[in-house]
Structure 1
């Protein structure tokens, strides 16, 4: 074979290899790249959430409901995105699922907390809410605060991954008095059965459960709890999607508190007083 032919063949092989690598890189980017690349490739934005009323939950047809979902979808719509897929998972699986790139956004009604900020890139806050307890009607143990529960040796029930676990320990509730269950419905079951004395969750959840209990359950007053127990809700993104998150936050700034937004979430108990105020995610991550 002549030297000229060898050179030609070498160039052909090299160009074929480069083309193959380009195709491989293009395929990888389409399927595993940042959210912006996925959207440009025509792929759906994947939202993960847990069944936590009234934050985020599926309706009877599996469609996303809850105020966190409403706000997330409302902002995405303003950005021009309607190709969205949703998945319901256990609360404890939200952050691991986000980190494993099974979801692009997690709604779920998640509080922005310092430890979570190490694993999740949160949007600017969408609401500010307080905690509450559910107790059996009449509140037989007279518990309204974490300190009440600690002092009376009552059994405190909460769910895996909840911020109230840390709050309970901070206020002196003993480890052996904390019952951790999979989710809010199991918290309710524990209180109804008498296995627990006070079940903790956000006040919105507690009030909703009490309203639907036919008088069996009541919600305690969130105002009885100290100010530091109030928290801000955010939507979670991966840190590598900072470019998309920046654009999302710009659209959120225009949407949050608007008449359109408030109307979309009024059925979930979110009103103007629930809005996040001036606190930024950067400040919240450093102070909660």
Structure 2
């Protein structure tokens, strides 16, 4: 049985390693779960964030690596049980010169520039609290966001808190800030996604996830990539 998975360049969840092979916390979880349900061959497709949902809908691949679950996305694809719950983080230049600790803080400063990938939920979060178009620089990928920060074209690049920690850990000139959730206290969840016509694979993955999440193997795999116990425990026992 062969399964095709699409991924993007977004450490520590998934990226192309030095050996040119996909690696990351979610890649390891995907492989552990798929091997357990009898998958003998896994084929990876590197793509852009904006192509993840159309690609799985059109059958170019069978599943996507985990992304945030939203109502809008759930109308287009079928999501698995969640595999992580993580708040947002900002990557900023060391010292956080403009004191950006929340989307509201960005909105309050006309001179603050935020780098955003339009399809990601951080774009909607920023717009919802009044960050203006003139404050937003549209980017296509995480590496592009890092480059824009280093070039001082933007003041902050939002993403997941764990992803922001990973970027800052690899770049001494940058630091990560856990974003103040403001009026929202619920951290969003991330899950694999599938075509709504591929119910068999979705059901098999969910059944195995319910056994695997929280196991010693699962905890050891994702802890290597910087997941905290709170981020691991946040979805344990939530599978239905």
> Residue in 1 aligned with 2:105?
148
Query: How many Å separate the matches in 2 of 1:190 and 1:228?
Result: 30
- Give the gaps of 5 or more residues in structure 1: 1-38, 282-288
> Residue in 1 aligned with 2:76?
119
> Residue in 1 aligned with 2:117?
159
Q: How many residues align?
A: 236
- Cα deviation for residue 279 of structure 1 reads 4.2
User: Is the contact made by 2:116 and 2:136 (CA closer than 8 Å) also made in structure 1?
Assistant: yes
- Cα deviation for residue 221 of structure 1 reads 2.5
* 1:81-96 paired onto structure 2 within 5 Å: 81-96=39-54
- Cα deviation for residue 229 of structure 1 reads 6.3
Question: 2:196 is matched with which residue: 230, 239, 255?
Answer: 239
Question: 1:267 is matched with which residue: 217, 224, 233?
Answer: 224
User: Is the contact made by 1:262 and 1:271 (CA closer than 8 Å) also made in structure 2?
Assistant: no
User: Aligned pair 1:249/2:188, yes or no?
Assistant: no
Deviations 1:86-120 (A, max 9, x none): 1111111111111110110110x310111110111
Deviations 1:12-67 (A, max 9, x none): xxxxxxxxxxxxxxxxxxxxxxxxxxx4xxxx210110011111112122322111
Q: TM-score, normalised by structure 1?
A: 0.78
User: Aligned pair 1:97/2:80, yes or no?
Assistant: no
* 1:29-178 paired onto structure 2 within 5 Å: 39=1, 44-107=2-65, 109-153=66-110, 154-178=112-136
Matched position secondary structure for 2:131: coil
Matched position secondary structure for 1:206: helix
Deviations 1:103-153 (A, max 9, x none): 10110x310111110111110000000111111111111110000000012
User: Is the contact made by 1:138 and 1:218 (CA closer than 8 Å) also made in structure 2?
Assistant: yes
User: Aligned pair 1:208/2:169, yes or no?
Assistant: no
Query: How many Å separate the matches in 1 of 2:81 and 2:69?
Result: 9
Question: 1:183 is matched with which residue: 124, 141, 147?
Answer: 141
Matched position secondary structure for 2:224: helix
Matched position secondary structure for 2:39: coil
Matched position secondary structure for 2:150: helix
- Cα deviation for residue 280 of structure 1 reads 5.3
Larger Rg: 1
Query: How many Å separate the matches in 1 of 2:105 and 2:206?
Result: 40
- Give the gaps of 5 or more residues in structure 2: none
User: Is the contact made by 2:213 and 2:236 (CA closer than 8 Å) also made in structure 1?
Assistant: no
- Cα deviation for residue 157 of structure 1 reads 0.7
